Structure 1
Amino acid sequence: MKEFIIVITLTIVFYLLHYFYPVLYQNLQFIFFGPLLAYIIYKIFQFIYSYVKSKS
């Protein structure tokens, strides 16, 4: 459930980026970089979440 919320949050963030900065999306590199960045952010969140879970 937590992972699902993170994915939705990232989707909203990238939608807002697309909406406010369409110039970035004209650059093909950014389109390919976007999903990769989302995956990296997701993995960082996953690491923090598991770290906090193990601490408590």
Structure 2
Amino acid sequence: MDTHLWGTLDVIRALGPVLAANGGGAIVNVLSALSWFSSPGTGAYAAAKAA
């Protein structure tokens, strides 16, 4: 969760004001297919990526 959730949130919070100051923009979070479907042994990964 530290990398996939909090790391992403920290980057967005840092870059948001920069994007706004430069006329706007977009932040796109590209997820893997395992964030939508969980199989045995990938539950923690799926939860972290979906967060």
With normalisation by structure 1, the TM-score equals: 0.38
Higher helix share: 1
With normalisation by structure 2, the TM-score equals: 0.40
